[in-house]
Amino acid sequence: MMGNLAGTTEDLMQEDKEMIKDFFCYTPVKLVFGEGKINETGIYTSAYGKKAIIVTTGDYFREIGLVARLQNILKESGVDSIHYGEVNPNPLNTQIDAGAAAALTAGCDMVIGLGGGSAIDAAKGIAIVLGHDKPIWDFCMGDPVEDITDKTFPIIALTTTSGTGSECTQWSVITNKETAEKPGIGSDYTFAKVAIVDPELMYTLPEQATASTGFDTLAHAIEAYTAILSTPVTDLYCEQAIRLVGKFVRRAVKNGEDREARNGMAFANTLAGMAISVGVVTLCHGLAHSIGGVAGTIHGETLAAMTPATMRFSMKSAPNKFKNIAMFLRDEYPGTFSCSLEESLEEVESVINDLGLNTPLSKQGLREKDIEKAADGVIRYMGGSIENDPAMPNREDILQIIKDSF
């Protein structure tokens, strides 16, 4: 009888396979999703301060009237604001410090990022500087790196792209031109207090930017899904995000005013953002950061150039998950279809080709003489992406992946 109760060794092994892995999950952002939700910004923002600095990349949103519209919405809820648009697509540490100085002079007590990941990343950086009265680079690189604390000013994020996921994460990516470094930083205190995801703000996003940010969403989902830090919760986010990208990214690029496609991609980006706030990213994103710092490349385009080679390197170390990627992109379900590793790679390459993102690194600005510098950058300041990759690449592996993508 005891033998029957205990079961066979095979039964116990099967039971272990079905056990849920231990995990930790923390995504504290108040998320507001839907068309027209920008009109509710003042309601949510007024709980965190009386005057905001609105951060954008350049003056485009001011020129088309979106900044003025947002300022009027804030004013109706008793929130004053100033606008700061001196931010590059890869936000510089000097621009963040200057933005913080402008906010301090104006008496701002919170920061609003309006735009894609660059604007929101810059907003997070400005919030850090305002709260700690130290240059942002002190929190990026150094010996020691400064801690980001609860002194960080409140952050509100309004995303205008379906990519980066910065509105839902704690991460901020900062570039230093002098050192050619582009690290990611973040803490529990750099999550946005409120993230407003309004697909209407994405209708006018140009085709190339829609493609690039859309692929960033897919890369986030693939990497967080296959990462060592993945959890059963983030796996659900990633699966749905990959399915949504497979269904809608091509349509969103073809017709920016396709409401269903824009809504689907906005939701995919939100899910992938929440996934990387916990599961983080793997080697491909680490490489994209380093190459972006060295060559000033566009993030999503760099990811597209490198994802096939990094997938080919890593997929045999997590075959069950990598096989699922093809199934998700095709919106198929387990038990109905079975995919191979090569099929998953082919499906991802199909997305890259259909979006017009099949541009090698050599055509994006990376010079052959800088390949080793890019590889060393990943190891030096993006080591977490290496440790989180199921295949645990070494320097020679990293060099070969860059060369294969060159």
Q: What is the model's pLDDT at position 338?
A: 75
One-letter identity of residue 215: F
CATH code, 207-404:
1.20.1090.10
CA distance 380 to 183: 10
Could you say which DSSP state residue 21 is in?
Answer: P
Q: What is the model's pLDDT at position 28?
A: 94
3 state SS of 231: coil
Reply yes or no on whether the pLDDT at 105 is more than 90.
yes
Residue with more model confidence, 164 or 254: 254
Reply yes or no on whether the pLDDT at 109 is more than 60.
yes
Q: What is the model's pLDDT at position 8?
A: 43
Residue 292: closest CA among 124, 138, 118, 90: 90
3 state SS of 82: strand
pLDDT tens per residue, range 197-256? 999 999 999 999 999 999 999 999 999 999 999 999 999 999 999 999 999 999 999 999
Reply yes or no on whether the pLDDT at 188 is more than 60.
yes
Q: At CA 103, angle to CA 99 and CA 109, rounded to 5?
A: 130
pLDDT tens per residue, range 168-186? 999 999 999 999 999 999 9
pLDDT tens per residue, range 342-393? 999 999 999 999 999 999 999 999 999 999 999 999 999 999 999 999 999 9
Instruction: Say if residues 180 and 266 touch (Cβ distance below 8 Å).
Output: no
User: Is the pTM here over 0.85, yes or no?
Assistant: yes
Tokens of 74: 């804030």
Q: What is the model's pLDDT at position 233?
A: 96
Reply yes or no on whether the pLDDT at 21 is more than 60.
yes
Q: What is the model's pLDDT at position 353?
A: 98
As a whole number, mean pLDDT of residues 129-143 equals: 94
What lies within 8 Å, CB to CB, of 209 at 6+ separation is 116, 161
Q: Is 207-404 in the same CATH topology as 30-202? A: no
CA distance 144 to 139: 9
Q: What is the model's pLDDT at position 124?
A: 98
Alpha-carbon separation of residue 33 from 126, 148, 165, 270, 271 (angstroms) = 25, 28, 13, 9, 12
Instruction: Say if residues 292 and 175 touch (Cβ distance below 8 Å).
Output: yes
pLDDT-based confidence at 18, cuts 50/70/90? low
Q: Torsions phi, psi of 52, nearest 5? A: -120, 150
Average pLDDT, the chain: 93
CA distance 283 to 289: 10
As a whole number, mean pLDDT of residues 33-41 equals: 97
pLDDT tens per residue, range 309-351? 999 999 999 999 999 999 999 998 877 677 899 999 999 999 9
As a whole number, mean pLDDT of residues 143-167 equals: 95
CA distance 249 to 226: 21
Alpha-carbon separation of residue 157 from 112, 121, 192, 246, 330 (angstroms) = 6, 9, 6, 26, 32
pLDDT-based confidence at 5, cuts 50/70/90? very low
3 state SS of 55: strand
Question: Strands 155-159 and 110-115, how do they pair?
Answer: parallel
pLDDT-based confidence at 164, cuts 50/70/90? confident
CA distance 304 to 284: 9
Reply yes or no on whether the pLDDT at 15 is more than 90.
no
For 30-202, the fitting CATH number among 3.40.50.300, 3.40.50.1970, 3.20.20.70, 3.20.20.450 is: 3.40.50.1970
Which residue has 């997070």 as its token pair? 124
As a whole number, mean pLDDT of residues 63-76 equals: 97
Where in the chain are the domains? 30-202, 207-404
Could you say which DSSP state residue 7 is in?
Answer: -
